[in-house]
Amino acid sequence: MKEFLVVLTTTVPEGTDPEEVTRRRAAEAVRAGELAAAGLLGRLWRPVGELRSIGLWRAGDEADLRENVLGTLPLWPWMTAEITALQPHPNDPGTTG
């Protein structure tokens, strides 16, 4: 499994029914929980005062991440994604011990 830093920005299309937005956001929370339980979503942050998310995601490769992981999010059709593939750093304190 490869790791990716992903910045997701969601833009709800103008004129979207608020009930549809509420439904998708609720389904998004459920799906994020499922992806976390499967080990595909490691961490998720929201920068203070911003409406974007930054996450640590795992997948076989970027295509797998886009199609089979992020692509399963209910809000995905309204999202843009900035994806950065990551590799271990030799000085990463998380790998010592």
pLDDT digits (tens, 9 = 90+) for 34-62: 999 999 999 999 999 998 999 999 999 99
Is the pLDDT at 96 greater than 80, yes or no?
A: no
Structural domain contains residue 43: yes
pLDDT digits (tens, 9 = 90+) for 6-30: 999 999 999 999 999 999 999 999 9
Structural domain contains residue 96: no
Has this prediction a pTM greater than 0.85?
yes
Structural domain contains residue 91: no
Which residue segment(s) compose the domain that 58 sits in?
A: 2-86
Please, which pLDDT band fits residue 97 given cuts at 50, 70 and 90?
low
CATH number of the domain at 42, please.
3.30.70.1060
Structural domain contains residue 36: yes
Domain count, the chain: 1
pLDDT digits (tens, 9 = 90+) for 73-90: 999 999 999 999 999 999
Give the model's pLDDT for residue 94.
Answer: 81
Structural domain contains residue 66: yes
**Matching residue, tokens 């030799």:** 90
Give the model's pLDDT for residue 27.
Answer: 98
Structural domain contains residue 11: yes
